[in-house]
Structure 1
């Protein structure tokens, strides 16, 4: 099993520094996206279109960070030709980089729904489901990034477990919102926008789970993606 110190054993101090740098840049990007996600949820809850517009306008910053990290990884692959655990680290950073950027995209989508909801009547739900699921997926993202930073296999597995819970919460929330629409057709517009926000949150949960699966690959060298059930995922993680 991979340990933190395994990336500090190279003869070249420059290589050690390069590997540490791509990890740090990825975590910096993850922290930025996490903040944008929480800000988007807050803007939606407060129906604050100005705050939402700011989040939308800053999405390009995440895109630029993604491209910089990709360039750094490409340079390491070309110059260092890493093998074994070093190669797994670079490949993992590339994959996690993509998932984080997509979470940033979903946060911008939530902000766009916040702009639309600011123009609508107040939703009869008071956005309770958005707040609940939003907090849950933000916590998953934080845990997934922490699992990557610490090479924590157990925490990565917990994040994948939580994604099943988010899927159930999302389904329950949609059923509840449909009931509100049936009770008063005047609420259909704002509730549809709320549904789109919830869809983005559900996708963010999926991306957080993807990051956790990449951590399993990094630590164990085992590809655990595309397992049909949680039990199959756990079996794959625990294979000897």
Structure 2
């Protein structure tokens, strides 16, 4: 009976990662939409929602600490709890990047190049897709999917580098220079989101086999 109750606690706190992940994905969706449509109200909502994301991470950590203090888990169970905390922290950081994208997008009055704007949005959607896949891999304990995200991250890195070069090769006015600089910041935030998706994969692998593998 005691083991059954403990397992329920482990499952409950692990389930909170999916709840947090869903909230973070909504933040990313809103940030990408704000970049595309210049919806300032949506952008402000992203900033306002960040406090809830931060609180969710803290609540998860407090729950993990409580379980450790009361149950004193070892081996696999302790590793599982550590992974919950690490993934919560990484997801919270991804939400921070969504806020950063939202804040920077408010400073861009006119996009200097619509083609590059679309390329940036596609990059953001693919980085968000990596977070979705990492969360699914965690829920289904799919180690293969987690490993494959490292290749996706390499592709994002390559596209990021090419996009930056394209941005700064544009013929620009003074107004364009400011917009291009802000777009470069956004591209960097997107690249970092993909990095954090890879971090999530690393924690999935760590939970599965007890060894930390650097996929970045």
TM superposition score category, shorter chain reference: over 0.9
Q: CA deviation at 1:53?
A: 0.7
Of 97-106 and 49-58, the range deviating more from structure 2: 49-58
Deviations 1:164-217 (A, max 9, x none): 11100100100010111x444431111111111111111100000000011010
The residue aligned with 1:179 is 169
Q: Any residues of structure 2 matched to 1:147-158 within 5 Å, and which?
A: 147-158=137-148
- Post-superposition offset of 1:11: 4.5
Unaligned runs of 5+ in 2: none
Q: How many residues align?
A: 215
Q: Greater shift after overlay, 163-172 or 12-21?
A: 12-21
Q: Output the TM-score relative to the length of structure 1.
A: 0.86
CA RMSD, 1 decimal = 1.5
Per the alignment, residue 66 of structure 1 pairs with 57
* Distance (whole Å) between structure 1 residues aligned to residue 163 and residue 61 of structure 2: 37
For the 8 Å contact 1:59–1:104, the answer to whether it is kept is yes
Runs of 4+ off more than 2 Å: 10-13, 182-186
Cα offset, 1:73, TM superposition:
0.5
**1:214 is matched with which residue?**
203
Unaligned runs of 5+ in 1: 1-9, 231-240
TM-score, scaled relative to structure 2 = 0.95
2:180 aligned residue:
191
Listed one character per residue, the Cα deviations across residues 10-44 of structure 1 (whole Å, up to 9, x for unaligned) are: 75222111101111111100111011101101111
